[in-house]
Amino acid sequence: MEWALAVVLSYLIGSVSFSFLFGKIGKGIDIRKHGSGNAGATNTLRVLGLGPALLVLALDIGKGVLAVWIGKWIDPGNLWLAITAGFAVIVGHNWPVFFAFRGGKGIATTIGVVATLCFVPGVIAGSIGILSIVFTRYVSLGSLLFTGLLPIALWLMQWETELIIASLAIAVLAFYRHRGNIVKLVKGKENKIAFRRSEG
């Protein structure tokens, strides 16, 4: 019963799409029909601008933090429950029940989950991802590096096996959600990020 409660609550929290809501409230649009078609912080930046994008980023990260703490609160000594709640919130963000199961790619929410479960390895992997974005302006590449390097960082720093397994699952999910971006990166056709709203 405790597991079901944590998973359902976390999934529902993840299903709150702030990018979609900001698009509807601010511009009266379905953000999934504009820009990249993704309901996340990066597309919010493209379509709505920097301010809304930063708010979406913070709120999506907050979803990840909250879900992990729900797991910890329900059973403080159960690492698997906290991990499962964290995974459920990412799944909810990616496939939100409130928005026809069409959500984002889960990276901001993953940041919140990782920061709560394994902060130092997350900072190491995340720093490399951020640097790649700064130098290449490919957010997708930074996201892939962050999630792909996290299991390696956890393993090298000898963190719990449960977290290494969870990080591998998160990486697989992230790579699956970015499969289209991977093709574009290979072909040199991936869109670069610009810190201003697009006019289109």
Band of pLDDT at residue 194, cut at 50, 70 and 90: confident
Is residue 166 a part of any domain in this protein? yes
Q: What is the domain extent for residue 173?
A: 2-187
Find all residues with CB under 8 Å of 71, minimum gap 6, and list them.
6, 10, 78, 81, 82, 83, 84, 85, 86
User: Mean pLDDT, the chain, as a whole number?
Assistant: 94
Handedness of CA 4, 6, 9, 10 (dihedral sign): negative
Is residue 197 a part of any domain in this protein? no
pLDDT tops 90 at residue 126: yes
Instruction: State how far Cα 123 lies from the chain centre.
Output: 15
Is residue 192 a part of any domain in this protein? no
Is residue 195 a part of any domain in this protein? no
Residue pLDDT, tens place only, 75-125 = 998 999 999 999 999 999 999 999 999 999 999 999 999 999 999 999 999
For residue 34, give the DSSP letter.
Answer: S
What's the domain count of the chain?
1
Q: Specify the length of the chain in residues.
A: 200
Is residue 196 a part of any domain in this protein? no
Is residue 198 a part of any domain in this protein? no
Is residue 193 a part of any domain in this protein? no
Query: What is residue 84's predicted lDDT score, i.e. its pLDDT?
Result: 97
Is residue 199 a part of any domain in this protein? no
Residue pLDDT, tens place only, 131-163 = 999 999 999 999 999 999 999 999 999 999 999
Task: Pick 193 or 52 by higher pLDDT.
Answer: 52
